[in-house]
């Protein structure tokens, strides 16, 4: 039974996603009275486990765990509240229609006739990328520096980052400066010969984004994704949460409540109350008002400013910046209930639990991307496939399995609309998957496709973009979501942002929530000190 909300709190947190819960728990530990208001009937946000067919459950949005920061797990004691992994350090296998697949481990390559030259180059490339990730990871764990009104802490952070870069050495420092601005396609051509290997790394650079391998600064996308190899729980590589990703949300909610946080589900916020440019609390859709001097929104930036704050309360410059945040999703989710163990051509049963990719080469990915530029879905989509029931039998009945796939590219604004386009796209995706898994249609009991519009409606994410905005150089670090709201505080006094649309960005990290709490605590100390 949920605690009845009081009329007054120190902090109201909008949204019980993982960042909102991490922020609430951190603030509650300081003695503040905190309430979390969640519009849906369960906590976790995009970390959700959904039954899409009788007794078949799947992680309906985020499906892999690879970036959750260790400190979130330890500080919230999540393992004491039901959180555990059913598998960790899962390799990636890139599927080939011929059955000659490539398996990419964190430190080696197997299969697909990969040459000794590429094996050696992969080790060197991985070592260098992890060096760069380590440098950037320090910036991810704190608020981005304010380049205009620089405090002593901002100056110190910038100097520290500069020193870390300098300590890389002349060669690595030069490469970091160069690689951060160019596309992953050119980098792959410089380093490797094997098409499957180049495709696997390229896909990691563009997954979840409206970009192709030839798009600028996609190398940063690769570094961003692999940040979890430096600080992620279960690192390196991806992990599977027992019970699905929804169990992470449940565990975080239990942990937050144990720290004194009140959580109310099915509590839709109508608006943030503002008086003389300062927040005074929130008003729920049922008419109730909860007063607080601080409101933290873990919703995406557009929802926060356009819906909760209201356009009338925004200055012209802020309004323009809100409207210009790019956050239209380009990825769909496919869920399939299977009447037995999947059988991919040439894939050993021991590899079925891997992260499976359909991306034969970089040209394939680029051609898949091209139609989405014009509001069309890909006729040969790329896929990131998980069969989580291999690791967690509780997700399906005995002897049966579930398959979940991220499918790109599927533009949010589809020409002709998704009402007409959804079934043709689903049929096309299943046909493409059947090229690698010929028995799929005979084993398929049920299928569900979530378009970006469906993801928007189900998970309340504007545009259906699970990162709450593109991960590109103009929308990261001190530019996320936009200047003036990139240090978690906003132009509205007392309003803070803590979702994936803030620094350091999307993915299940928890750092945005914890960083927001640190900023609130720090600003309070500065005002009273």
Q: Residue 215 has what DSSP assignment?
A: S
pLDDT range class, residue 141, cuts 50, 70, 90: confident
Q: Bridge-partner residues for 272, per DSSP?
A: 282
Find the mean pLDDT for residues 178-193. 89
pLDDT range class, residue 138, cuts 50, 70, 90: confident
Three-state DSSP class for residue 46: coil
Q: Could you give the CA distance from residue 337 to residue 468 in angstroms, rounded to a whole number?
A: 29
Helix, strand, coil in percent for the chain, rounding step 5: 40, 20, 40
Find the mean pLDDT for residues 11-32. 98
Contact 27, 517 (CB under 8 A): yes
Residues 6+ apart with CB under 8 A from 412: 328, 329, 330, 452, 453, 456, 463, 464, 465
* H-type alpha helices, 69-115: 70-75
The token duo for 94 is: 């890139």
For residue 225, which of 416, 467, 528, 388 has the smallest C-alpha distance? 467
pLDDT range class, residue 156, cuts 50, 70, 90: low
pLDDT range class, residue 2, cuts 50, 70, 90: very low
For residue 241, which of 73, 83, 397, 365 has the smallest C-alpha distance? 83
Find the mean pLDDT for residues 478-506. 93
Contact 245, 69 (CB under 8 A): no
In a domain, 495, yes or no: yes
What pLDDT is recorded for position 136? 86
Q: Bridge-partner residues for 404, per DSSP?
A: 335, 386
Contact 408, 330 (CB under 8 A): yes
290: part of which helix (H) or strand (E)?
strand 289-291
What pLDDT is recorded for position 43? 97
Burial class (CB in 10 A: 0-12, 13-18, 19+), 525: exposed
What pLDDT is recorded for position 527? 57
474 or 123, which is more confident? 123
pLDDT > 80? residue 154: no
What pLDDT is recorded for position 163? 59
Find the mean pLDDT for residues 383-389. 98
In a domain, 287, yes or no: yes
pLDDT in tens, 236-248: 999 999 999 999 9
Examine residue 504 and say whether the peptide bond preceding it is cis (omega within 30 degrees of 0): yes
Q: Could you give the CA distance from residue 386 to residue 63 in angstroms, rounded to a whole number?
A: 8
Q: Could you give the CA distance from residue 485 to residue 322 in angstroms, rounded to a whole number?
A: 10
Three-state DSSP class for residue 496: strand
pLDDT > 70? residue 164: no
Q: What does the chain come to in residues?
A: 529
What pLDDT is recorded for position 9? 97
pLDDT > 70? residue 404: yes
What pLDDT is recorded for position 1? 41
Find the mean pLDDT for residues 188-201. 97
The domain of 481 spans 11-48+243-326+465-528
Burial class (CB in 10 A: 0-12, 13-18, 19+), 308: buried
Residues 6+ apart with CB under 8 A from 142: 157, 515, 518
Contact 82, 247 (CB under 8 A): yes
For residue 206, which of 190, 182, 222, 192 has the smallest C-alpha distance? 222
pLDDT > 60? residue 371: yes
In a domain, 139, yes or no: no
The token duo for 57 is: 């459950």
Find the mean pLDDT for residues 334-347. 97
In a domain, 375, yes or no: no
In a domain, 276, yes or no: yes
Find the mean pLDDT for residues 331-346. 97
For residue 227, which of 214, 239, 217, 237 has the smallest C-alpha distance? 237
Let me know how many helices (H) and strands (E) the chain has, helices first.
17, 20
Q: How many domains does the chain have?
A: 1
What pLDDT is recorded for position 408? 97
87: part of which helix (H) or strand (E)?
strand 85-90
For residue 8, which of 403, 383, 281, 240 has the smallest C-alpha distance? 281
Residue 477's CATH number: 3.50.50.60
Three-state DSSP class for residue 411: coil
What pLDDT is recorded for position 5? 45
Phi and psi of 164, rounded to 5°? Answer: -60, -40
pLDDT in tens, 112-129: 999 999 999 999 999 999
Examine residue 236 and say whether the peptide bond preceding it is cis (omega within 30 degrees of 0): yes
Q: Could you give the CA distance from residue 333 to residue 402 in angstroms, rounded to a whole number?
A: 13
What pLDDT is recorded for position 217? 86
What pLDDT is recorded for position 142? 86
Three-state DSSP class for residue 433: helix
505 or 179, which is more confident? 505
Q: Bridge-partner residues for 282, per DSSP?
A: 272, 290
Query: How far from 271 is each of 282, 288, 313, 471, 493, CA to CA, in Å?
Result: 6, 11, 11, 28, 15
pLDDT > 70? residue 61: yes
Contact 246, 217 (CB under 8 A): no
What pLDDT is recorded for position 109? 98
Find the mean pLDDT for residues 61-77. 95
Angle made by CA atoms 424, 430, 435, in degrees to the nearest 5: 130
In a domain, 424, yes or no: no
The token duo for 137 is: 């990871």
In a domain, 456, yes or no: no
Residues 6+ apart with CB under 8 A from 62: 46, 47, 48, 245, 466, 508
pLDDT > 80? residue 148: no
In a domain, 132, yes or no: no
CA atoms within 13 A on the CB side of 253: 24
Find the mean pLDDT for residues 31-38. 98
């Amino acid at each position: 039974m949920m605690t009845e909300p009081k009329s007054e709190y120190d902090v109201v947190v909008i949204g019980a996603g993982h960042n909102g819960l991490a922020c609430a728990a951190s603030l509650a530990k300081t003695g503040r009275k905190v309430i979390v208001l969640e519009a849906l009937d369960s906590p976790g946000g995009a970390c959700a486990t959904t039954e899409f067919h009788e007794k078949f459950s799947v992680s309906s949005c985020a499906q892999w765990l690879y970036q959750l920061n260790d400190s979130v797990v330890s500080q919230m004691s999540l393992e004491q509240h039901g959180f555990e992994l059913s598998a960790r350090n899962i390799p990636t296998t890139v599927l080939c229609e011929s059955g000659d697949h490539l398996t990419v481990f964190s430190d080696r390559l197997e299969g697909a006739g990969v040459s000794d030259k590429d094996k050696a180059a992969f080790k060197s490339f991985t070592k260098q990328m992890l060096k760069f990730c380590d440098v950037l990871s320090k910036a991810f764990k704190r608020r981005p520096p304010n380049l205009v009104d620089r405090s002593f802490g901002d100056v110190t952070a910038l100097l520290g980052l500069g020193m870390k870069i300098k300590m890389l050495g002349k060669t690595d420092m030069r490469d970091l400066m160069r690689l951060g601005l160019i596309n992953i396609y050119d980098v792959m051509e410089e380093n490797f010969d094997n098409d499957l290997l180049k495709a696997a790394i390229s896909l990691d650079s563009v997954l979840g984004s409206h970009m192709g391998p030839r798009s600028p600064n996609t190398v940063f996308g690769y570094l961003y994704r692999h940040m979890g190899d430096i600080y992620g729980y279960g690192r390196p590589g991806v992990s599977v949460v027992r019970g699905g990703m929804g169990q992470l949300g449940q565990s975080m909610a239990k942990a937050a409540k144990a720290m004194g946080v009140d959580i109310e589900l099915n509590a839709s916020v109508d608006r943030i109350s503002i008086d003389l440019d300062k927040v005074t609390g929130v008003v729920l859709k049922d008419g109730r008002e909860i007063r607080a001097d601080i409101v933290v929104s873990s919703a995406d930036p557009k929802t926060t400013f356009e819906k909760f704050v209201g356009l009338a309360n925004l200055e012209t410059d802020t309004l323009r910046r809100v409207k210009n945040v790019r956050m239209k999703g380009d990825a769909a989710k496919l869920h399939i209930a299977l009447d037995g163990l999947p059988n991919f051509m040439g894939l050993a049963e021991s590899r079925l639990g891997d992260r499976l990719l359909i991306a034969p080469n970089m040209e394939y990915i680029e051609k898949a991307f091209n139609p989405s530029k014009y509001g069309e879905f890909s006729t040969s989509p790329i896929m990131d496939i998980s069969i989580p029931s291999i690791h967690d039998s509780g997700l399906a009945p005995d002897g049966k399995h579930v398959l979940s796939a991220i499918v790109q590219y599927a533009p949010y604004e589809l020409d002709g609309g998704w009402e007409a386009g959804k079934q043709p796209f689903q049929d096309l995706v299943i046909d493409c998957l059947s090229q690698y898994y010929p028995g799929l249609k005979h084993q398929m009991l049920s299928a569900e496709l979530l378009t970006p519009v469906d993801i928007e409606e189900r998970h309340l994410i504007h545009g259906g973009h699970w990162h709450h905005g593109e991960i590109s150089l103009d929308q990261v670090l001190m530019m996320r979501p936009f200047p003036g709201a990139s240090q978690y505080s906003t132009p509205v006094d007392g309003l803070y942002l803590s979702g994936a649309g803030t620094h350091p960005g999307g993915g299940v990290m928890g750092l945005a929530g914890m960083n927001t709490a640190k900023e609130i605590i720090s600003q309070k100390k500065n005002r009273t000190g």
